Amino acid sequence: WPCDVPLPDTLFTISSLVRLYIGLWKLPDTAGLRGASFPNLRELGICTVVMEQGDVETIVASSPVLEVLSIQGSHKGLRLRLVSQSLRCVQICSSVVENVTVVKAPCLERLILQGGRHAASGMCTMVSILDAPKLHFFGFLGPGNHVLGIGGTVIMAGIKESAATIVASVKILSLNVRFGLPNEARMVPMFLKCFPNVVRLHIMSRKCNGSTGKPSLNFQEGPTESAMLHIKEMYFREFRGEQGEVAFLKSIFPKVLETAVIIMANPSFTPFSVAVAFSKLKEASEVIRCCQVLLLKSTGPEGGKAWSFKEGSDFSCEDPFSTVESSLFTPEQSKFIGFDEVGNRHDACCTMPVRSGRSLDVLNYELGMVSASFGSRP
């Protein structure tokens, strides 16, 4: 399908538009875009569109009430500078992105980067956050895909913590990590230090291509308890019982976590030993301090379903990252590991009905009802 057919300039003068999605086109030249005027546009989607550097910024500048910007299938090497008084949600999926710089976005709540190029290509995406005081959701940040910059400082292993290298507003963070690669694994603590007020942490454990040898990991030198003070819930997806995964869980379990949902990979898509993975999880849970751990088994493909712009920009959903996870499960036998009121450990099994599309918040509520007999550990 040809993607180089230019959009008519007249489209960019329809001032009554509130929602606009364009796909498989070529944006007009700069002169045509300068006449753009979208005084009522609140939602813009650009999907597999040929465009030049600066085109997106021109449209955003012409849309004073724009709240949602979604970009998919940009393959030219997008360089995006976000300056907007109205943007609340930015989603960039399955695109080649050189850099994203949040210059000034006082209303931005959600920054979602999914399916970009990988370090295997020799290039990573630079993500810089300069001014985003309301940024609440951030994902899917990955040390293999992204280089993080905060306030003009590039976050690297060994960098000292300071007020200039944190984003205190982020409450829900999603990370994509290949724990089998030491260079990626050691960046996880560094990223967590940058977001000290995270309440809910999502981890997607990615497979490594080929053998990486025996990694030497020491997460105990990672984020301090003060840096993780507010983390109450963690959702760990695609667990396979790898050494790096277990090392990470051992480091986070003794800290301040209250609830952990471990979602085992689907062995139909990701060959591994379920029995070994379960034994590794039990090993990691020996140092547990959280009130409960729930083990689920994914029935979907590796990495889950494709990201949905609609779900990602649904402001009524308090966690856009949980919607991806909740759609993967059918009724499965779940394993609980909990503590009673005096700290004694108990294991129990039960079967929970989990309907497709339900949020994990509802699931957590029901699980709390089922596991109430465990109590909570002081």
Mean of the per-residue pLDDT values of the chain:
79
pLDDT in tens, 246-276: 999 888 887 767 888 899 888 888 788 888 8
Asked if residue 9 belongs to a domain, the reply is no
Residue 288: predicted pLDDT: 67
The verdict on residue 98 lying in a domain is no
Residue 22 falls inside a structural domain: no
In a domain, residue 141? The reply is no
Average pLDDT score over residue span 136-161: 92
Report yes or no on 280 lying in a domain: yes
Per-residue pLDDT tens for 171-187? 999 999 999 998 899 89
pTM for the full predicted model:
0.84
* Helix (H), strand (E), coil (C) string for the chain: CCCCCECCHHHHHCCCCCEEEEECCECCCHHHHHCCCCCCCCEEEEECCECCCCHHHHHHHCCCCCCEEEEECCCCCEEEEEECCCCCEEEEECCCEEEEEEEECCCCCEEEEECCCCHHHCCCEEEEECCCCCCCEEEEECCCCEEEEECCEECCCCCCCCHHHCCCCCCEEEEEECCCCHHHHCHHHHHHHHCCCCCEEEEEECCCCCCCCCCCCCHHHCCCCHHHCCCCEEEEEEECCCHHHHHHHHHHCCCCCCEEEEEECCCCCCCCCHHHHHHHHHHHHHHCCCCEEEEEECCCCCCCCCCCHHHHCCCCCCCCCHHHHHCCCCCEEEEEEEECCCCCEEEEEEEECCCCCCCHHHHHHHHHHHCHHHCCCC
Residue 40 forms part of a structural domain: no
Domains: count for the chain: 1
Is 34 within a domain?
Answer: no
Query: Percentage of residues in the chain with pLDDT exceeding 70?
Result: 76
Q: What residue numbers bound the domain in which 293 lies?
A: 158-378
Would you say residue 334 lies in a domain? Answer: yes
- List, for residues 64-116, the tens digit of each pLDDT value: 999 999 999 998 889 999 999 999 999 999 999 999 999 999 999 999 999 87
